[in-house]
Chains A and B, each alone.
Chain A
Amino acid sequence: MSDFLEPGVSRRGLIAGSVASVAVANTPARSVAQPTTKASEAPMMPVRFTVNGQQHSLSLDTRTTLLDALREHLHLTGTKKGCDHGQCGACTVLVDGQRINACLSLAVMHEGDEITTIEGLGTPDKLHPMQAAFVKHDGYQCGYCTPGQICSAVAVLEEIRAGIPSHVQTDVAGKPKFTAAEMRERMSGNICRCGAYSNIAEAMIEVAGAKA
């Protein structure tokens, strides 16, 4: 998280910040920011979207992120909450086929959308090829970031196929290739604390090769 602020200051600030956000969950009063509107006064709104092929109608506090709607309301806890600020990628899901950070999107902004989470990609009996490749290549250790990594990886291969350029392309007008350098650059929004990066890139290249 601190990488997006300032290493020196933000580490301190961040530690203070995360303590404060823990405090907010447990105690009603804190000095930094007063408790927001009481739950009973919070504006609620209906929203309907499809998750993994299943229609859902919810009535939500407008503040509910897509991530919290998935985890806390639909109990699809495969999608993980890491930093909750778009910095780690653990919350990556597919919305209408595109990968996004579910934590930086309000649930009410997704009326009518089709959402795919890790639970919708494959099942334990019938793994998605990317899930199988992650298992085969040891693309994880603790596994916390893995659902986000896999959703992101599936989308990356589609993005390369669609010709979406990347920072590591020498000729941005040309077609991107399925190289390890491309995988690494395009996966940079998914942080892995265990450092499984090289195995993740290998898993992706295998799936890309199998499909290409």
Chain B
Amino acid sequence: MIDLGVTIKDLYLKNPVMTASGTFGYGEEFTDFFDIARLGGIFVKGTTGAHREGNAYPRMAETPMGMLNAVGLQNKGVDYFISDIYPRIKDIDTHFIVNVSGSTVEEYIEVASKLNELDKIPAIELNISCPNVKEGGMAFGTSCHSASTVTKAIREVYKKTLIVKLSPNVTNIAEMAVAVEAAGADSVSLINTLLGMAIDAERKRPLLSTITGGLSGPAVKPIALRMVWQVSKAVKIPVIGMGGIMTATDAIEFLLCGATAIQIGTANFIDPAVSVKIIDGIEDYLRRHRHNSVYDIIGGLR
């Protein structure tokens, strides 16, 4: 028997494969393609205090082996999530983890306190790394002081598993991880998108309405792997790795670099059923290498 289960603080995941915020809707968009209850967890779209319309179109540009996005946290707000979405998803047999965003510390607190009351939401992912909003977002995640301040404030109101999502747009990501660990985070997830830009030379114009946007997909994988490796050496709390994972082999590389679990983002757009293939692929790998548990390969880089 191969045991795919892992734990993030008190949160038991039946396998280490989860889907990344903003790339998997509320899971419902994918039920035609596979049984989403097979996933270790689902991170839902960035949720803010009030309804947000997000940025103007165009919000997306394809780039070599990846894409830029500038969605800008379009969502209907936490109250809508609680009244309309939560009842639909709460009985699905996987963990729904809400990605929490805001422009001010007060807004983060408001969203986290409301989510703390929901029985079937076992964890939140604090998004202090969104590059696509004018205020808040990444601004909180690029200095140790502000990352620590917002993490502390949320730790006081949020009693369940608190995951803090780190921005790669910093000089030293390990320092950031250490700062949020000290501030009470139960886990860190990384990486959010890398700030990037694409232009149309013929028209001499940027391709995104916001000029800059967040880069994701296979193009970012080497950076993400490096950062997961650095962070997992620097902190004791479990690390959730992501960035460019397209195949089971990619996922295994993150586990070897020290991630306890992984998230799949952009790959869902190319193959909506990719995450089950990755679950099966990890199991296959463990069997081939004669391991009984995922823990046998976590941090197993020689």
Query: Do the two chains belong together in a single complex?
Result: no
B interface list, Cβ under 8 A from A: none
